[in-house]
Amino acid sequence: MSNAAGTALGFAIADRVFRLPPDAAPAAPPPAMAPLPNAPEGLRGLILQGGRLLAVWCWDAAPTAWVRLEDGMIGGHAVPLADADAPLLRLPDLPPPPPAQAMPAVTTAPRTASATAPLAVTLTLGAGRAHLPMAALAGIRPWPDSITPVPDADAGLLGYAAITDGPVLLLSPGWCFGTAATEPPTHLAILRHEHRLLGFPCRAVAPGEAGEALLPRLTGTPEGQRILALAPRSQPIAPPPPRPHRTLLLCQAGGAPFFLPASEVEAVIPPRRPLPMPAPSDGSAPLLGASAHRGAILPVIDAASRLGSAPLPSEPPMLRLPGTPPLALAVASISGLRAIPEDDIAPIPGDGLIAAMVHTEGRLVPLCHAAALAGQAA
């Protein structure tokens, strides 16, 4: 909604509505996930997307909408308008990795889970298993095609490789898992530690119990210190340039979805039955009635008459359009605001009903002129 209306792009979780940050984007529901041991409330699990391990958060029993933020996803039950002073939606903080300590003495006592243990992922290569704190994992990358050996290096190193994050030092399967690999690795788990990049060979990554074997070996032993000294320093990752976008309001009427520019909508009126009023004498179509809003009586226009054959509900939500006199546009439902990249909006010249076609979530949805939709129907 426009700034003057005091509203912003929002997201509903349980009974609270949050403002969405500019980098938030609608997302498809995540796949089924294995539960995380000792996970905090709301953390459903982890998914691998675009080479990154993302935390998936949701407090609703049956979420109907998902948004992607920088390092994770959040599920909710609606995407309504939010007040400009509503709290900003952000990802909860994950438990940090434990501080580096010397390797503990070998013991045969059974290991018990701790309620405060850091979240971890398990790397798998053949029969080998190793654990890393999730907070230390920078991403998952394909196994490199070319590896440059490290001159006069310890047996625990495979060499250097160039990946999208920059040069990385690859550790050997024997060093990571304590045993020779029975099958070749297919991926790298990237550890960003002490401003250095290291790559751990693996074939699978999954949620796992907190393990304390790898980090203490790097930070608390002479062998690990030699490895860290050879690892390239990681370069700061520049954030991607912002994509220009337009805020659009997604609605349904006549059995079809359509967008309106948020700047062309003055307010959202909750569902109500329009008050009866005489039809226009010239027979122009179709006036549903009238509705009172903010001290004004607004003629209510049926948006479905221009967009499809499905009738509106008896108590439709309405959109107040600016103008003199102002109008109310009745629709079947309002899904909420969407931040659509400009390059996903294909303009259609002219002043007709359709201003552009919008490519969103794998489909094309028309962007209508609000005045044309109401004026041509009135």
pLDDT in tens, 329-372: 999 999 888 889 999 999 999 888 999 999 998 899 999 998 88
Q: How far is CA 150 from CA 5, 141, 156, 188, in A?
A: 62, 21, 11, 18
Provide the H-helix boundaries in the chain: 173-177, 214-219, 222-230, 304-307, 370-377
Please give the residue that has the higher pLDDT: either 281 or 235: 235
How many CB atoms lie under 10 A from the CB of residue 298?
A: 22
Tokens describing residue 275? 């008050």
Query: Which pLDDT score, from 0 to 100, does residue 238 have?
Result: 67
Quickly tell me which residue has 């004004």 as its tokens. 296
Please give the residue that has the higher pLDDT: either 48 or 72: 72
Distance CA 157, CA 174 (A): 9
Please give the residue that has the higher pLDDT: either 26 or 335: 335
What is the phi/psi pair of residue 197, to 5°? -110, 125
Tokens describing residue 182? 């029975």
Q: What is the mean pLDDT of the chain?
A: 80
The percent helix, strand, coil of the chain (3-state, each to 5) is 10, 45, 45
**108 — pLDDT class (breaks 50, 70, 90):** very low
Second CATH level (architecture) for the domain 120-230: Beta Barrel (2.40)
| Cβ atoms 122, 214 nearer than 8 A | no
Distance CA 102, CA 120 (A): 19
Nearest CA to 150 out of 222, 217, 223, 232 is that of 232
Domain ranges for the chain = 3-83, 120-230, 245-377
Query: Which pLDDT score, from 0 to 100, does residue 214 have?
Result: 73
Q: How far is CA 81 from CA 282, 293, 359, in A?
A: 37, 18, 22
pTM of structure:
0.47
Q: How far is CA 64 from CA 28, 58, 173, 303, in A?
A: 10, 11, 42, 25
Distance CA 219, CA 212 (A): 11
Write the burial class of residue 328 (CB in 10 Å: 0-12 exposed, 13-18 middle, 19+ buried): buried
Residue 257 pLDDT > 90, yes or no?
yes
Distance CA 234, CA 211 (A): 24
Q: Which of 117-121, 292-296, 314-318 has the lowest mean pLDDT?
A: 117-121
Q: What is the mean predicted confidence (pLDDT) over 87-115?
A: 52
